Amino acid sequence: MDLSSEAILLHRDGVVISADDQTAAMFGYLATEMIGMPVSSIIDEHAVRADNGETPCVHQAIGIRKDGTRFMLDLMSGCSCGARRDRRSTDPTRILIVEDDAATLEAVTRLLSLKGYSVQSAKDMKTALELAHGNAFDILLSDITLPDGTGWDLLHQLRATRPIRAVAMSGLSNARDIQRSESAGFTEHLVKPVRAEKLDRVLRHTLNQPAP
């Protein structure tokens, strides 16, 4: 299955060589994690329908998730015979991402932007507070260990001026740190690395919670 220049998943000799983050998230991976994977492990070229009963058109394929379920995968945007990208509402969720690792910050920002979120990012507490001063956000997605403070301190300062939901995403994994995040007011404490599918699910869940 060689895909056109409009494809969102590219492969050579049966091995994935390129995928965007939105496509990778459908399978439960980050785009970088899919590079080198055999196409046969993620695309069922012989399937006639997805698990929900939908039949693919010529511009769609059946993708296989990690758990074995099959779903419709669009290979081309703008298809008149039914291939469509999933779009969010015209009022996207506003997220402030705070992460001091540049590569992680760029990857998560790009991933969430592709999934339809309105994203602003900061590499430290000072920048995050400056952004929050002039902008309203629905969710704070923050690392805990920052160059000039902690995610716990940041959330405390933000909530002193306005309500905001919060999710921690950190390399800290011991029970004491996770409990401290909960006590600080974070809805979830995600331990890195976090799968794109899980991050999106947690953000959706958090958005449905009342802002403290």
Mention every residue, 6+ apart, whose C-beta is less than 8 A from residue 91. Answer: none
pTM of the predicted protein model: 0.60
Query: Counting every residue, how long is the chain?
Result: 212
Give the 3-state secondary structure of residue 109: helix
Q: Based on the number of CB atoms within 10 Å of its own CB, is 104 exposed (0-12), middle (13-18) or buried (19 or more)?
A: middle
Query: 87 pLDDT band (50/70/90 cuts)?
Result: very low
- pLDDT (tens digit, 9 = 90+) per residue, 153-192? 999 999 999 899 999 999 999 999 999 999 999 999 999 9
Separation of alpha carbons 211 and 145, rounded Å? 23
Q: Are 74 and 60 in contact (CB under 8 A)?
A: yes
- pLDDT (tens digit, 9 = 90+) per residue, 16-71? 887 777 777 778 788 888 888 888 888 887 778 877 777 777 667 788 887 888 88
Phi, psi (degrees; rounded to nearest 5) at 71: -140, 165
What's the CATH number of domain 94-207, 1.20.1080.10, 3.40.640.10, 3.40.50.2300, 3.40.190.170? 3.40.50.2300
Nearest to 122 by CA among 84, 95, 161, 83: 95
Q: Are 187 and 167 in contact (CB under 8 A)?
A: yes
The more confidently predicted of residues 30 and 94 is 94
Mention every residue, 6+ apart, whose C-beta is less than 8 A from residue 183. Answer: none
Question: What pLDDT was estimated at residue 81?
Answer: 53
Domain boundaries, the chain: 9-74, 94-207
Q: Are 71 and 65 in contact (CB under 8 A)?
A: yes
For range 99-124, the mean pLDDT: 90
Separation of alpha carbons 148 and 98, rounded Å? 12
Separation of alpha carbons 29 and 138, rounded Å? 25
Indicate the average pLDDT of the chain.
83
Separation of alpha carbons 186 and 98, rounded Å? 14
